Amino acid sequence: MRAGLITVPYNSAGRPDGVALAPAALRAAGLAADVDLGEVSLPPLPADRGPSGLVAEELLVAMVDGVAGRVRGAYAAGLTPLVVGGDCPVLLGGLLAARWEYGDVGLLFVDGHEDAWPPGLSLTGEAADCELGLALGRYPSPLGGRMPVVRPSAVVAIGPRDEADLASHGVPPLAPEVVVVRPGELRSVGIHVDGIRAVAPNWWLHVDLDVLSTDALSAVDYPQPGGLSWAELSSITDTALATPGCVGWTVTIYNPELDPDGEAARRIVRYVERALSLTGRGAT
């Protein structure tokens, strides 16, 4: 299969700065795939906190629908979508399209945070605190009947290290409803991918780059102690993409404003290029 690149300049705070600038910066650093499916255009919309507890609700809905439509176009063209954000809720659009296309889908969620805050408890109100909770249908949201898009039994979360923060704010953890693998607990990614496939043969890979340590990547908005190395993340990604049934890949969370010399952008591009080349779906 060939990869189709889709970029999404989305910041869940409702602003056009920060992570919304990531797609342009990564393209400038050489990001490419077999086919370029372009960028999802997002209109300027209000960034107030809405009834659900989320800020920029209309923008979230517009983004999810825009990404889902573009991913469906990738499937129609026989391409595996590579969706690059922006903030991590771009995952929701990919999962929505995958569910429409394949029915029941699974999720390998590689992230430094569990991202299942109840919107009303989120300190920022950003959907980036909540996207996995929304995908699982844990909370009402402006996305209405689009959610849920994945079952807890079909999700494995690798790399979250925010359990102390969640506990201090009374946020329910994902486990045991979802399999959660902390950075120090990781053994064989293949076992976890096979576990997802046993429940849902078609599945999505989501990589939030804040799963990396600050030494590996500092250009993220919410750094934490610990985290993976580039070698560890590449091993996870390579194993996942080489496993049958992967129907899409999201890569999110890089803030070019925290990367003045562009070195982080170039490192991210090398990571993506390597993974695609190893699976035979690289840039031509």
pLDDT in tens, 102-127: 999 999 999 999 999 999 999 999 99
Q: Is the pLDDT of residue 90 over 90?
A: yes
Please report the pLDDT score of residue 189 as a whole number.
87
Give, in degrees to the nearest 5, the angle at Cα 15 between 14 and 21.
125
Instruction: Quickly state the pLDDT bin for 1 (edges 50, 70, 90).
Output: low
Backbone angles phi, psi at 239, to 5 degrees: -65, -45
Instruction: Report percent pLDDT > 90 for the chain.
Output: 93
Q: Is the pLDDT of residue 281 over 80?
A: no
Instruction: Report which of residues 279 and 185 the model is more confident about.
Output: 185
Instruction: Report percent pLDDT > 70 for the chain.
Output: 98
- Please give the model's pTM, rounded to 2 decimal places: 0.96
Please report the pLDDT score of residue 284 as a whole number.
34
Please give the average per-residue pLDDT across 241-252, as a whole number. Answer: 96
Please report the pLDDT score of residue 239 as a whole number.
93
Please report the pLDDT score of residue 19 as a whole number.
98
Instruction: Quickly state the pLDDT bin for 165 (edges 50, 70, 90).
Output: very high
Please give the average per-residue pLDDT across 187-206, as a whole number. Answer: 92
Measured in whole angstroms, how far is the alpha carbon of residue 109 from the centre of its chain? 7
Which two tokens mark 99? 């569910």
Please give the average per-residue pLDDT across 258-265, as a whole number. Answer: 98
Q: How many CB atoms lie within 10 A of CB 64?
A: 30
Distance CA 230, CA 227 (A): 10
Please give the average per-residue pLDDT across 233-246, as a whole number. Answer: 94
State which amino acid sits at residue 153.
S
Please give the average per-residue pLDDT across 89-112, as a whole number. Answer: 98
In 3D, which of 110, 85, 88 has the Cα closest to residue 25? 85
Mean residue pLDDT across the chain: 95
Measured in whole angstroms, how far is the alpha carbon of residue 87 from the centre of its chain? 8
Distance CA 143, CA 21 (A): 24
Domains of the chain, each with CATH number or no CATH:
2-278 (3.40.800.10)
Instruction: Quickly state the pLDDT bin for 280 (edges 50, 70, 90).
Output: low
Please report the pLDDT score of residue 283 as a whole number.
41
Q: Is the pLDDT of residue 203 over 70?
A: yes
In 3D, which of 12, 182, 203 has the Cα closest to residue 112? 182
